[in-house]
Amino acid sequence: MYYLYLILCENSSIYTGITNNPKRRLVEHKTKSGGWHTKLYPAVKLLRIEKFNTKEEALKREKQVKGWRREKKLNLIKFGKPIIK
């Protein structure tokens, strides 16, 4: 399984990524050992997570969401159907 995740960073930005281990990845982002963005602005909290059967599906969704403006991402977080509880 692969997961798309959106996290809130210290500078109020929304970081989007994919992983096969969401718990590990969030810890990496919070401890500044994740991506370059979260080394500068560590993760504060997980905002959304979506589950996919394949890496290709997750990558396709990541590309889609990364192309969105902040307002659309916030609407997904606020109004989108829960994907994983």
Residue 33 is predicted with a pLDDT of 83
Please report whether residue 35 resides in a domain.
Answer: yes
Please report whether residue 85 resides in a domain.
Answer: no
pLDDT one-digit tens code per residue, 37-75: 988 998 899 999 999 999 999 999 999 999 999 999 999
Residue 41 and residue 68: Cα distance in Å, rounded?
20
Please report whether residue 84 resides in a domain.
Answer: no
Residue 49 and residue 27: Cα distance in Å, rounded?
15
Please report whether residue 39 resides in a domain.
Answer: yes
Contact in structure between 17 and 63 (CB atoms under 8 Å) = no
Domain count, the chain: 1
* 2-9/43-52 β-pairing: antiparallel
CATH code of the domain covering residue 64:
3.40.1440.10
What is the pTM for the complete model shown?
Answer: 0.89
| Residue 71: domain span | 2-79
